[in-house]
Amino acid sequence: MSFSSIAFVAAASVRAQAALSDLCRLYPHVTPDRASVIVALGGDGFMLETLHRFRALHLPIYGMNRGSIGFLMNRYRTADLPARLDRAESVVLHPLRMRARAADGSETDALAINEVSLLRQSRQAAKLKIQVDGKIRLNQLICDGILISTPAGSTAYNLSAHGPILPLGAGINALTPISAFRPRRWRGALLPQAAHVRFEILEAGKRPVSAVADFTEVRDVIEVEVHQDRETGLELLFDPEHNLEERIIAEQFLP
C-alpha cells in the first residue's frame, strides 16, 4: 500500500515527544484530518487512545513503540519510514460494544478494543447473573469481577486474570472471571464473536459494580450488554516480520 501524507501523534512521555521531534524533522507531515495514515508514537495505552480518538477519520494507524510493552506497536526506527509503511500489513479489528444501564436509569454506550470488564466497587464481592444469546448460563457468579476480551486484548488484562491467549483468526472472545469465589472451579468460557452477553448485577445496592470499556467507566451499573460491533472496523498496520498474529502466537511460548 502507498500513503501520500503522514500525520504524527505522540504520547506525553519524554521518549515519545523526542521521537515526534525527530520524525517531524525528517519527514513531511500533515495534521490527522489531512492525512492518509497516522503514525502513533508511544505504548499500547496510547495506541488504544489513538484508535478511539481518530476512529471517525477511518485511517490506518501504524504504531512505533516508545512505551513499555508495545504489543500493538512496531519497533521504533527513524530510517526508511515511507518504505516501511508501503510494506506494512493491515489488520482490521472489530471492537466490542458495551451498553450499560446504571442504578439512576442512565444508559452509556461505549466501544472497547481490548476488553469490557465488570469490577466490584466495594469490599463486598460482586454477584452476577450471566446470559449468552438469551440463555442463562450462570445464575450466580460471586467474584471480584469478570471481563470479555477480544483476541487483540487477550494478552492484556485477560492474560493477567489467567484467561487464554486468542489468535486473531479464531473467531472467538474470552469470558474470564476475576477471582471467582463461587463456582470456585469455573475458569471462564470461549464464546463466538457473534455472541450477545448480558450481565445482571444481583444485590446491586449492597454489592455495587462498575463497568469499564477501555477508557469509559460507568459506576453503579445494574445491567450490562456486550456484543461485537461488526460495523466498526479499526485498521492497524504492522511490519511483515513483526505482525500482530505472530505476536499473539509467540506470546504463548514465552517462559
Tell me the catalytic residues: 44
Task: Look up the CATH number of the domain holding residue 191.
Answer: 2.60.200.30
Number of domains in the chain: 2
- Residue 1 lies inside a defined structural domain of this protein: no
Q: How far is CA 59 from CA 83, 92, 113, 141, 150, in A?
A: 18, 11, 16, 41, 21
103 and 75 housed in the same domain: no
pLDDT in tens, 133-167: 999 999 999 999 999 999 989 988 999 999 998 88
Instruction: Give a yes or no: residue 155 inside a domain.
Output: yes
C-alpha 101/C-alpha 106 separation (Å) is 6
The verdict on 140 and 191 lying in the same domain is yes
d(CA 174, CA 242): 24
Are both 212 and 117 inside the same structural domain? yes
Res 245 pLDDT > 90: no
Render pLDDT for 112-121 as a digit per residue (tens, 0 to 9). 999 999 999 9
The reported pLDDT for the residue numbered 145 is 97
Mean pLDDT of the chain: 94
* CA–CA distance, 192 with 16 (Å, rounded to integer): 37
CA pair distance 252, 238, nearest whole angstrom: 19
Domain range for residue 195? Answer: 96-228
Residues 212 and 113 both lie in one domain: yes
Please write the tens of the pLDDT for every residue from 30-69.
999 999 999 999 998 999 999 999 999 999 999 999 998 7
User: Pairing mode, if any, of strands 172-178 and 145-149?
Assistant: antiparallel
Residue 1 reports pLDDT greater than 70: no
**Is 89 found in the same domain as 102?**
no
CA–CA separation, 191 and 188 (whole Å)? 10
List pLDDT tens digits, range 184-219.
Answer: 889 999 999 999 999 999 999 999 999 999 989 999
Q: Same domain for 44 and 122?
A: no
Q: 4: Cβ–Cβ under 8 A, 6 or more apart, which residues? A: 36
Q: What is the pLDDT of residue 178?
A: 97
Nearest to 186, CA basis, from 103, 225, 249, 130: 130
- Beta strand 96-102 pairing with 172-178: unpaired
Residues 35 and 107 in one domain: no
Is residue 244 located within the same domain as residue 209?
no
- Domain assignment present for residue 178? The answer is yes
Q: Please state the pTM of the whole predicted model.
A: 0.87
Residue 3: pLDDT band (50, 70, 90) is confident
Helix (H, G, I), strand (E, B) or coil at 83: helix
Instruction: Identify whether residues 187 and 239 lie together within a single domain.
Output: no
